[in-house]
Amino acid sequence: MVASVKLSEIVKRKRDLDEDDSDIDISSTDSENESQNSDDEDQEIVNIDFDFFNGNKNVDFHAFKNLLRQLFGPQESNRIQLSALADLMLDSPTTTIKTDGQESDPYCFLSLIDYKENKACDYAKYLHKTDERLSQFLKSSESTNKKCALVLSERLINMPPEVISPLYRITLDDVSNTLGGGSHYDYYIIVSRKFEVNTDMDDDKKSVSRKRVKTTEVDYFHEEDKFFEGNAKLHFESESRKGVISSYIIIDHDGLKKSIDSFEKEVATW
C-alpha cells in the first residue's frame, strides 16, 4: 500500500540576517522601500510529498523502538519490552509516513494491534497493570464478540498535523481488508501522553503588594488527543512524572471516526 499527500502550503519562514547598523540617514523612495521590505519576513512555499507505506520489517524495527520510547517516555518505556512490541506492530496493520521511499526511516507510524489475538503479549500485560478500570475493560472484552484494537501512534515533533487524518483513514481501510467483509474494530484503546507547562502570573488578591504565583497548565503532544477525549467512552490519566502525564483513551468506532473528521476540520482553520 502506497499513498501520497502533498502539503503545498507549509510555509518556511526565514529572517533577514543583515541589519543596517549605519547612522547615516539616506532619504529616498528606493531606500525607504528597501528598508520596508527588509523588515518583512520572506515567505517561501515548500512542497513536501509524504508517502504512506505499510510497515517494513527490513527497515522500520529500530525506528519503531525509538519512537515507542519517545511515546511512553523514559520511565514507562522501561516497563515494556519495546523489541517485542515493535515486532508485534510489524505483524499488525501499521502505516508509516516517509519522504524518501519505502526503504527510508519513518517519520511517523500508526499501528492497530488486535487485543484478543495478542492478549498474552507483554504489552497487554503492561496495560492490565496501569489502571484497574482499563484492566476491567480488557477482561470484559474477552468474554464478548466485540473486537478491540490497541492503538499505538507516534511521530517526530515537527510533523504537520495535516497528515494525521489520512494516516488514520488509510490504516482503518487496511484493518477492514485484514478483518474482511468491511469489518472494523468496535473499540480502540489509545495510549498517549501530555506535558505540564509552568507559567508565572500576577496575584492580584493583595491590595498592597503583588506577588508572582506559579500555575501549571497541561498541553498535548498529539493535538488529535483532545478530540479523542471528547468522544471517549472512558478517559483517565496517570499522575505527573517529571512533567509528563500518561493518557489512556477508550473510544468506539463511531467516536473515533467523528474525532478524525472534527480534527481535520479544525486543522483546516489553522
* CATH number, domain containing residue 217: 3.40.630.30
Burial class from Cβ neighbours inside 10 Å (0-12, 13-18, 19+) for residue 144 reads: exposed
* Residue 28 lies inside a defined structural domain of this protein: no
Q: Is the pTM higher than 0.75?
A: yes
Q: How far apart are CA 258 and CA 196, in angstroms?
A: 27
Per-residue pLDDT at 125: 97
Which structural domain range is residue 66 located in? 2-8+44-268
pLDDT tens string 5-37 = 554 433 333 333 334 443 434 344 454 455 555
pLDDT tens string 146-179 = 999 999 999 998 899 999 999 999 999 999 999 9
The neighbouring-strand residues paired with 96 are: 53, 109
Quick check: 103 pLDDT over 50?
A: yes
* Residue 23 lies inside a defined structural domain of this protein: no
* Residue 243 lies inside a defined structural domain of this protein: yes
* Residue 20 lies inside a defined structural domain of this protein: no
Dihedral of the CA atoms 178, 96, 244, 261 (nearest 10)?
-70
